[in-house]
């Protein structure tokens, strides 16, 4: 207030305010100036003495130019689905989004087909026809954590595949996948059967109006194999770790797109051959004094050979390498009373965990894949189709006991697990249908889906 007093003293009012007009004008102007100065002084005093009511304001760090958030310092258990990958893209960078990490969200619209509208479902995966009573497993879709994934558009896909050949190479999971794709595409046009082998394991189809050829090639090891009967466990599988299976390599030049994968067959008892010499085995239990090298040895050898072949610069096919598929057997395995009777997906934060075999196989897959794609001069048309995480979260999507029609007919107590369960393959329709959403995104919407 001392400032106000000084200001008021500096203004001298002279003469009678009711005197001459000139004096009145002077008095009026001085009065206006006086009040203006008082206002300015008051503003100065208040501003100088008032504290802002907003406290503890923190300055945000500058944005990361890479578009990626930092890697978490404390990592989850290696078996946890939370730890499938550790790099999490920021939500505002869709081009860097990892479409393979996310959750299953409710989708009341349901599947694109039914077991009635599609005639290509194998009996073992036709869960509804075989009497599965619940249908909730059909009402979920895959949602990546940090971006939107376009729904599979069968008309757009089949048009893009005009005059092309897409081949699936692998085991029965590959056959499961191709049947899912055919069921979706058959809503656009019915497919023609062109070829099948004696056991109906390898097949070729064609969509006539589009001249689009689709095939599945049965090659569970991807390598050259011979099978011989024995008196102990029924068969000996001879696996040549330095020779690819000509069943698919001889046709490879015809393919425009390839989805290729290894898998559970490497866990079987196998005898290894390299340079026409027996070098070891997996699970041979001391037979003929062979060296136990293990399934990880043969799996790495097989993937290295396969990836080197498809990466050759003269090979035109765009290749998607699909990762391992975890099973969901509980309280045993397929031959020891294991079952899968869950009716809801897992979430990232609860009990879903990969088995140690699946973790080890997937580690090898990623190591060999990135080793191939980072080699100088290698074919750039190799992409990763990482379905492991999304599959891990769907214990409810398997046939379970409903691989057979009415499996509990005549069974008094269902708790006794007297019926063999399938907890590896997928019901059709079912969660495997969403693999096609990822497949088309990697195959057609991006040159390459790579996490770096």
Catalytic annotation, pick one of 146, 422, 433, 437: 422
User: Is residue 124 within 8 Å of 403, Cβ to Cβ?
Assistant: yes
Rounded distance, CA 414 to CA 135, Å? 20
Cα 333 to Cα 422: distance, rounded to the nearest angstrom: 9
Which one of 120, 146, 172, 273 is the catalytic residue?
172
Residues 159, 212 contacting (CB under 8 angstroms): no
Cβ contacts of 382 within 8 Å, gap of 6 or more: 307, 310, 311, 319, 321, 369, 372, 373, 448
DSSP code for 323? P
Q: Residue 80 catalytic? A: no
Q: What's the CA gap between 433 and 427, in Å, rounded?
A: 9
φ/ψ of 145, rounded to 5, equals -65, -40
Known active-site residue 148 = no
Q: What H or E segment, with its residue span, contains residue 89?
A: none
In the set 146, 389, 425, 434, the catalytic residue is 425
Helix axes 356-373, 295-310, angle to 10 degrees: 30
Give the DSSP letter string of 417-450: --S--B-SS--SSSGGGGHHHHHHIIIII-S---
CB neighbourhood size of 224 (10 A): 18
In angstroms, the CA 27 to CA 429 distance is 94
Cα 110 from Cα 9, distance rounded (Å): 85
List the beta strands (DSSP E) in 127-269.
140-144, 165-170, 192-196, 203-207, 212-218, 223-229, 235-244, 257-260
User: CB within 8 A of 88, min separation 6: which ones?
Assistant: 68, 69, 72, 98, 101, 145, 146
Is 422 known to be catalytic? yes
Q: Which residues are catalytic?
A: 172, 422, 425
């Amino acid at each position: 207030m001392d400032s106000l007093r000084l200001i008021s003293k500096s203004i001298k009012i002279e003469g009678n305010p009711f005197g001459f007009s000139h004096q009145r004008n002077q008095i009026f102007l001085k009065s206006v100036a006086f009040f203006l100065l008082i206002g300015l002084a008051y503003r100065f005093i208040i501003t100088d003495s008032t504290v802002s009511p907003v406290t503890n304001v923190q300055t945000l760090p500058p944005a990361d130019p890479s578009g990626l958030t930092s890697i978490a310092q404390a990592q989850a258990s290696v078996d946890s689905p939370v730890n499938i990958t550790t790099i999490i893209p920021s939500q505002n960078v869709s081009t860097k989004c990892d479409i393979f990490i996310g959750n299953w969200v409710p989708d009341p619209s349901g599947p694109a087909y039914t077991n009635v509208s599609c005639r290509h479902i194998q009996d073992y995966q036709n869960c509804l026809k075989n009497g599965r009573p619940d249908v909730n497993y059909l009402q979920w879709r895959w949602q990546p954590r940090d971006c939107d994934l376009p729904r599979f558009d069968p008309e757009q896909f089949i048009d893009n595949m005009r005059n092309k050949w897409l081949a699936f190479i692998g085991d029965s999971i590959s056959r499961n996948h191709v049947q899912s794709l055919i069921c979706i595409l058959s809503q656009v046009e019915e497919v023609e059967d062109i070829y099948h082998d004696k056991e109906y394991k390898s097949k070729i189809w064609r969509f006539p109006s589009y001249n689009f050829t689709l095939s599945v090639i049965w090659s569970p090891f991807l390598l050259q194999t011979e099978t011989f009967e024995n008196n102990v466990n029924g068969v000996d599988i001879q696996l040549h770790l330095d020779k690819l299976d000509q069943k698919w390599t001889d046709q490879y030049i015809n393919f425009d797109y390839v989805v290729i994968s290894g898998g559970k067959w490497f866990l079987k008892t196998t005898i290894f051959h390299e340079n026409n010499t027996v070098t070891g085995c997996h699970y041979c239990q001391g037979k003929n004094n062979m060296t136990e090298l293990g399934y990880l040895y043969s799996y790495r050898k097989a993937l290295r050979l396969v990836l080197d072949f498809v990466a050759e610069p003269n090979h035109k096919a765009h290749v998607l390498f699909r990762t391992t598929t975890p099973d969901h057997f509980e309280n045993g395995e397929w031959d020891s009373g294991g079952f899968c009777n869950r009716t809801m997906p897992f979430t990232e934060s609860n009990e879903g965990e990969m088995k140690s075999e699946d973790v080890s196989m997937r580690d090898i897959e990623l190591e060999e894949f990135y080793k191939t794609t980072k080699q100088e001069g290698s074919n750039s048309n190799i992409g990763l189709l990482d379905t492991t995480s999304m599959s891990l979260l769907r214990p409810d999507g398997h046939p379970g006991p409903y691989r057979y029609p009415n499996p509990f007919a005549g069974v008094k107590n269902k708790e006794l697990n007297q019926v063999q369960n399938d907890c590896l393959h997928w019901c059709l329709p079912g969660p495997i249908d969403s693999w096609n959403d990822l497949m088309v995104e990697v195959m057609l919407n991006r040159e390459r889906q790579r996490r770096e």
